Structure 1
Amino acid sequence: MSSLLAFAGAAVLEIAGCFAFWSWLRLGQSPLWLLPGIAALAGFAALLTIADSPLAGRAYAAYGGIYIAAALLWGWLVEGHRPDVWDVAGASICLAGMAVILFAPRAMPV
């Protein structure tokens, strides 16, 4: 469960950090948006390190499913773009993949 919370927090921070850059470069906002954006991206990276996985690559792969669902929610809640049925279907597939990667029984390493 702690991995899911870490992934959810990481997703919010990554999306917020990237949105700060988007706002500056695409929406004409002040470069000062980069300061909280950089802090958010650093927090995102730190949160990924507390996932319950001995392998960084596996943790990042599982995180991807959470990120995709969170990005669609961000688009809906922050940017006002409601996900369509294909967005929901794609996110559901990604979340199923995340669950397999994160929760599958694994043999103990020798």
Structure 2
Amino acid sequence: MTLIAYLAAALAEIAGCFAFWAWLRLDKSVWWLAPGTASLCLFAYLLTLVDAEHAGRTYAAYGGVYILSALLWLWVAEDVKPDRWDAIGAAVCLLGAAIILLGPRPS
């Protein structure tokens, strides 16, 4: 469930942020802000579904998933293929996220 929540949150966050980007940088209509804002609210809600004891740890671990998702967005939505440095950086971030989320903690 955690991975699904993180992936859905990443999609919602990227879509919401892209709506603002489109409005401010691509001269799209101000109406792009309505679905963008809704998407960012969905993003925040989805992170609450992650089964972790502390919000900060949830957000920190999410960072790795977000980075990978942003690179996938770059490839799929912007038609720019990530390079090996992007892939290496994402792998390091995902390893860090796994350590944060799955590391043993005292009871």
TM range, smaller chain: over 0.9
Shift of 1:15: 0.2
Query: 1:84 and 1:105 mapped to 2: Cα distance?
Result: 33
Matched, 1:75 2:57: no
Structure 1 stretches of 5 or more lacking a match? none
Matched, 1:25 2:24: yes
**TM-score normalised by the chain length of structure 2:** 0.98
Shift of 1:100: 0.5
Query: 1:55 and 1:105 mapped to 2: Cα distance?
Result: 14
Q: Which runs of 4+ in 1 moved over 4 A?
A: none
Letter in structure 1 aligned against 2:29: S
Q: Secondary structure at the match of 2:11?
A: helix
Letter in structure 2 aligned against 1:85: R
Shift of 1:21: 0.2
**Residue number in structure 2 paired with 1:3:** 2
Shift of 1:107: 1.4
**Residue number in structure 2 paired with 1:13:** 12
Query: 1:39 and 1:66 mapped to 2: Cα distance?
Result: 21
Query: 2:41 and 2:2 mapped to 1: Cα distance?
Result: 18
Structure 2 stretches of 5 or more lacking a match? none
RMSD (Å) for aligned C-alpha atoms: 0.6
**TM-score normalised by the chain length of structure 1:** 0.95
Identity %: 57
Letter in structure 1 aligned against 2:100: I
Query: 2:34 and 2:14 mapped to 1: Cα distance?
Result: 14
Query: 1:101 and 1:7 mapped to 2: Cα distance?
Result: 14
Shift of 1:50: 1.0
**Residue number in structure 2 paired with 1:61:** 60
Letter in structure 1 aligned against 2:77: V
**Residue number in structure 1 paired with 2:103:** 104
